[in-house]
Amino acid sequence: MTTSSKRMRTLAAGTQTHAAASNKTLPGLMLGALGVVFGDIGTSPIYALRQGVSEAGVVNAPVVLGILSMIVWAVVIVVMGKYVSYVMRADNEGEGGIIALTALVRSGYEQDGRHVPHLLLMAGLFGAAMFYGDSMITPAVSVLSAVEGLRQVSPRFDPYIVPLAAAILIALFLFQRRGTAAVGKWFGPVMSLWFVYLAAVGVYRIAQHPDVLRALSPQWAWALVHTHPGMAFTILGAVILALTGAEALYADIGHFGRRAIRLAWFFIVFPSIIVGYFGQAATMLYQRGSEQQPFFYAAPSWALIPTVVIALCATVIASQAVISGAFSMTSQAIELGFLPRLRVIETSRAHRGQVFVPAVDALLFAAVMFLVLSFRSSDRLTSAYGIAVGLTMLVTTVLMIGFTRRVWHWPWIAVISISLPLFIIDMLLVIANAHKIPQGGWFPVAMGIVLFVLMATWHRGRMLAKQRATQAPPLDAFLRDVLGSREPPARVPGTAVYPGSTQGATPSALESNVHHNRVLHGTVIIFANRSESAPRVNEQTRIEVRDLGDGCFEVISRHGFVERPNLPKLLASLEGQLGDWRFDPKHTTFFLPRDEVTPGCSHGQMSRWREWLFGEMAFHSASSAEYYGLKSEDVVELGVQVVL
């Protein structure tokens, strides 16, 4: 068995073990996946086919069946072929998503003794930035599309559509601080009911007009492309709406495991949404005027109000899942050095990984409200939707090229044979949506560019700061010179802890304290805190202790990018490893640097505006004390000028 094969079996086992920790039974995992993973793609039938027919501007059998065939085969090729069968195999020790994939690609290059190509790393950051754009649009378009169903109940609801959608979204964002644990148990059952409803209505309409099943043949899609190539290309920009949420299948494998997600997809989600699309097509062809809202017209008249209610519940759940995904990705990006430290609040003790990031919540809320109040309809918002989804999918394909080469060690012929067709499909989807940039697609692109600049600037500044940190005095030599000098610093009782990030280097706070205060505590612990490219680290290798003599110790602490370092807990775990030392919080002081970035600090390696931007991000980042789980009264901050 090859090394890569062994690694993949280990990763697969890690995935299943982690998933089993959150839910021990496969049906339970599948039910949870229905509520979290498939909310976005599961609510696409509300607007995808409608938008495709709207783009065509013609309602007849060849056009409607051609669009339906394009949607069906796009779902089969992109979601089932690319994500379910291919991308989901590329888990980072049980974790998925574009940030985890970027970390895994970087780790693969480092293991081969190479630096990850700058372009590939920037592609990963851009894909993550576009995911935020997707997270802004999904709540707006989903909730609006569901509330618009009230128009079918009575035209008198029309003036209240936007205010009601805004009120629902305000309530949704106000709820974020409490976390999803309280209502998360209802997500799976509600979405199960949703998929049953989609299938039931679809079967009801197909039974009336079974000839729509002809669209299962790709010949209808090909006929539309052949006879109306311009129209087909325009429609392709709407077909991507049926693929929204495909990234979630990959991003959530750490919570539910590949097996549960795949089984839920094959046996519940895929047949339900496909049957639902066919039911809508039958409604369009045989019920005049239904092309404006085929999803709601497909339901029997007596079921219209329940349809609006269940659609609204499903879209709120889909929005919640996307927002929570943005919080989780932010937490991962912070640990990997792609974003500055932001305040991250754990919202559940029972479910690891459920976090709330106030800064991201405020950003998403402002963006969603802007979209709802500016565009005021789901039709207009779908123009802004496709470009964000397409660019994220394209970046995933690009990253998979690096992954298959450096982690799976595939030969180039195998990489090209799979990646090239997927790349062409993704490019076609992006180009087909490019003309929508003036109509609203500019918003996710603009937000993505801004967030990409922020992430790239922070990453660049961190890299330069780490390079400078390696030039700091070696820790052994510094302590030897200080303790062996003619006038050594006074030793005072207690323990001093100096967190840092570079192993073997002297922390700037330690240098500053000795230089200005001329004291050393009886016990000095220097923490070299390292964030790994893996999501979690083995407890047996998490901590390494080095005795430097004279009561001084260096502790190398490792944590994964889904973990957060907690210094009090780490110190408590060191008892028995540092001689007779025992952790006493009342007699322990943590010395943290308060970095100040000055103009010209990069010596020409960054432009002035990026130096300024890096400095502003550093100034507004969360305190190191909060990041390390420390109480403010136990911390002493020492100002240190940063030289990049």
Res 16: pLDDT: 38
pTM: 0.83
Res 20: pLDDT: 39
Question: Are 346 and 354 a contacting pair, CB within 8 Å?
Answer: yes
Task: For residues 553-577, give the mean pLDDT.
Answer: 86
- Please determine, for residue 217, whether its predicted confidence score (pLDDT) is greater than 80: yes
Task: For residues 544-572, give the mean pLDDT.
Answer: 88
Taking only the tens place, the pLDDT of each residue in 479-509 is 989 888 888 899 999 999 998 767 888 888 8
Res 15: pLDDT: 36
- In sequence order, the 6+-apart residues with CB closer than 8 A to the CB of 118 are none
DSSP assignments along 422-457, one per residue: HHHHHHHHHHHHHTTIIIIIHHHHHHHHHHHHHHHH
Per-residue pLDDT band for 11 (boundaries 50, 70, 90) equals very low
d(CA 513, CA 498) in angstroms, rounded, equals 10
For the purposes of burial, counting CB atoms within 10 Å of the CB of 301, is it exposed (0-12), middle (13-18) or buried (19 or more)? exposed
DSSP SS3 for 502: coil
Which of 128-137, 384-393, 401-410, 527-536 has the lowest average pLDDT? 527-536
Encode burial over 61-78: b for 16+ CB neighbours within 10 A, e otherwise.
eebbbbbbbbbbbbbeeb
Task: For residues 523-546, give the mean pLDDT.
Answer: 84
Taking only the tens place, the pLDDT of each residue in 181-208 is 555 678 889 999 999 999 999 999 999 9
d(CA 359, CA 211) in angstroms, rounded, equals 52
Nearest to 348 by CA among 327, 317, 319: 327
526's enclosing H/E stretch is strand 519-531
Res 642: pLDDT: 59
DSSP SS3 for 60: coil
CATH says 11-462 is which class?
A: mainly alpha
- Please determine, for residue 377, whether its predicted confidence score (pLDDT) is greater than 50: yes
Encode burial over 588-602: b for 16+ CB neighbours within 10 A, e otherwise.
bbbbbbebebeeebb
d(CA 472, CA 505) in angstroms, rounded, equals 6
Structure tokens at 358: 């106030």
Q: What residue segments make up the domains of the chain, in order of their start?
A: 11-462, 475-642
Highest mean pLDDT among 22-31, 110-119, 597-606: 110-119
Nearest to 198 by CA among 79, 278, 293, 282: 278
Taking only the tens place, the pLDDT of each residue in 337-375 is 899 988 888 776 655 556 788 999 999 999 999 999 999
Q: Average pLDDT of the chain?
A: 86
DSSP β-ladder status, 355-356 and 345-346: antiparallel
**Torsion sign across C-alpha atoms 469, 474, 475, 481:** negative
Per-residue pLDDT band for 5 (boundaries 50, 70, 90) equals very low
Question: Are 498 and 525 a contacting pair, CB within 8 Å?
Answer: yes
133's enclosing H/E stretch is helix 118-147
- In sequence order, the 6+-apart residues with CB closer than 8 A to the CB of 86 are 400, 418
Res 181: pLDDT: 59
- Please determine, for residue 1, whether its predicted confidence score (pLDDT) is greater than 80: no
Name the β-bridge partners of 549. Answer: 552
DSSP SS3 for 96: coil
